[in-house]
Amino acid sequence: MESVYIWYLTDNDTGLEISNRIKNIGLNVKLINTKTLKGVLEKEIIAESCINILIFDFENLDFSEILSIIRNDQRLQNYQKFIILNKTKIKEALNTTVSYMHMEFLSRPLNKREFILLLEKSVIVERYREVMKYISKEAEARIGTYENLMDINRRELFVTDEEKEDFKNILNYEKNLLKKQNDLNSAIKEYTLLRQKEIFHNKNRIKAEELLGELRRQELLDANMVIKAQENVIDFSSNKLIEANQIINAKDTVEEMGRQEAVKLHKEINKLLNQNEKQTAEITDLRKKLAASKADKSN
């Protein structure tokens, strides 16, 4: 049994995104995008010879309807099922399905990375369980052979040394087969432990990456604040420069106005002086004429 099928049933865009991420890790995903479950799974062929894991991710479907579909379809009873619900519905679901096996409840919103790791681990566990079933069936099928061989040994019905040798070879073969099965079991356990450690390390790495991402985000926020502060300083300096230029321009204007007024005033003064000199000359002439007239009259 090598084929693994992930049945992802959803009615929302987040479910579509998660199903695509599951495909990216190399698992076979059968996506069913539907608004209702009635009659949907009945039309699907679920191969019993494969490992099947079902994920129910519905935002607009009541949990009781999902549970009813699962209970009524006998094909789904022994398969691992993940039910994604809102946090408020988790407790209700646990109380409803206390004795119901092979169901895991996950709260929305999902941590996508952790869910992918959980799904990988579940696939490994399901593979391990199927291998153990196979080994158990093989051991059970050989119990009769062991009993017959031991019965023959107790009765010592071997006629020739060849038969005894064949019996020993059969026993050795069975012992080697049992040893190989035990070795396989140990290897699977070691692989599972290693995989669990890897998942644990990956989870820690994901948390570290998330912390690093948060630190980087904070650094970006701090850098933006510094940039804004620098921009404010630059704007303030620019405003001060503009104000200084305005003051200088105003001073230059005042000085220019002062020069113009001084020139105008100087012109006015010169004009008045000229007028005064002219008037003085006229008065002097009048005095001379008046003195001459007086002199003429006295003669």
Question: pLDDT tens for residues 59-75?
Answer: 888 888 888 888 888 88
Range in 14-23, 150-159, 160-169, 173-182 with the lowest mean pLDDT? 150-159
Of 186 and 7, more confident: 7
pLDDT of residue 10: 92
Q: Which residues pair with 5 in a beta bridge?
A: 28, 52
Averaged pLDDT of the chain: 78
Residue 119 has pLDDT above 60, yes or no: yes
Residue 185 has pLDDT above 80, yes or no: no
Predicted model pTM:
0.51
73 Cβ partners below 8 Å, 6+ apart? Answer: 41, 42
pLDDT digits (tens, 9 = 90+) for 225-247: 888 888 888 877 777 788 777 77
pLDDT of residue 188: 72
Reported confidence tier of residue 9, pLDDT bands at 50, 70, 90:
very high
Reported confidence tier of residue 56, pLDDT bands at 50, 70, 90:
very high
Residue 167 has pLDDT above 90, yes or no: no
CA angle (28, 30, 32) in 5-degree steps = 160
pLDDT of residue 8: 93
pLDDT digits (tens, 9 = 90+) for 251-290: 777 777 777 777 777 788 778 777 877 888 888 888 777 7
C-alpha span between 55 and 118 (Å, rounded): 12
Residue 89 has pLDDT above 70, yes or no: yes
CA distances from 182 to 10, 133, 179, 187, 190 (A): 41, 13, 5, 9, 12
pLDDT digits (tens, 9 = 90+) for 141-161: 666 665 565 555 555 554 556
Rg value, the chain, Cα: 52
Residue 55 has pLDDT above 90, yes or no: yes
Of 177 and 111, more confident: 111
- Tokens encoding 85: 């619900």
Which residue ranges form the domains of the chain, and what is each CATH number? Answer: 1-110 (3.40.50.2300), 112-250 (no CATH)
Quick one: angle between helices 63-72 and 87-96, nearest 10? 40
C-alpha span between 133 and 135 (Å, rounded): 5
C-alpha span between 175 and 142 (Å, rounded): 12
DSSP H/E element including 189: helix 161-298
